[in-house]
Amino acid sequence: MEQYKQEFIEFMVDCEVLRFGDFVTKSGRKTPFFVNTGFYRTGTQLRRLGEYYAKAINEKFGFDFDVLFGPAYKGIPLTVAATTAISDLYGRDIRYCSNRKEVKDHGDKGILLGSPIADGDRVVIIEDVTTAGTSIQETLPIIRAQGNVDVIGLVVSVDRMERGQGTRSALAEIEEKYGLKTTAIVTMAEVVEHLHNREYKGRVIIDDAMKAAIDAYYEQYGA
């Protein structure tokens, strides 16, 4: 596993973004792990998060695209942090863009903030965790309404690797339905591989009991 992936897993633990216990997902599934990106709360955390996104984007897409689009609201700081990191780490100047929830009718009018999107632009979408496709379904019409653009991919922080609407993973369903390339900074399989029975800062995050709970969850909901 790449070094930046290992660092990112530990970073999520440190920020309490990645937690283990008893939780219920938005879809009603009882899960032994939870990813809450709302716990990235400081400038230092956002800077580091942007760097991990930048490395994942470089690995999957390179920088042969023009605009990084972050759907409101969580995608707004993500796209700013990632494009800043791309500039700092790789010297590439990628434009950032997000949508507003409400159309602005004065000043800088319209539904977009950041860079405009124009004919011929190649766009990558950035989000927090794997979705069931609802956000993509809302986001694509906004982007494509701006002109003849090519939406080439989606990057998320964590691939939960569970079923979407059918038997395949949510990311695989998005790839098939919308023709996008998708990637994640890490998958839950990589998280388990890195943390199982390994002491980190004086404690074992995933012991055998938690590993069994995660395995049982994937028996029921895994892709």
Beta strands at 203-204 and 199-200: parallel, antiparallel or unpaired: antiparallel
Decide if 154 contacts 136 (C-beta within 8 A).
yes
Give the burial class of 63: count Cβ atoms within 10 A of its Cβ; 0-12 exposed, 13-18 middle, 19 or more buried.
Answer: middle
- Encode 120-156: b = buried (16+ Cβ within 10 Å), e = exposed: ebebbbbbbbbbbbebbeebbebbeebeebebbbbbb
Phi first, then psi, for residue 11 (nearest 5°) are -60, -45
Candidate list 104, 109, 177, 194, residue with the active-site label: 104
Cα–Cα dist 34/128, whole Å: 13
> Which of these is catalytic: 106, 177, 194, 201?
106
Annotation says 106 is catalytic: yes
Nearest CA-CA partner of 223 in 155, 154, 132, 139: 132
Catalytic status, residue 60: no
* Active site (catalytic) residues: 104, 106
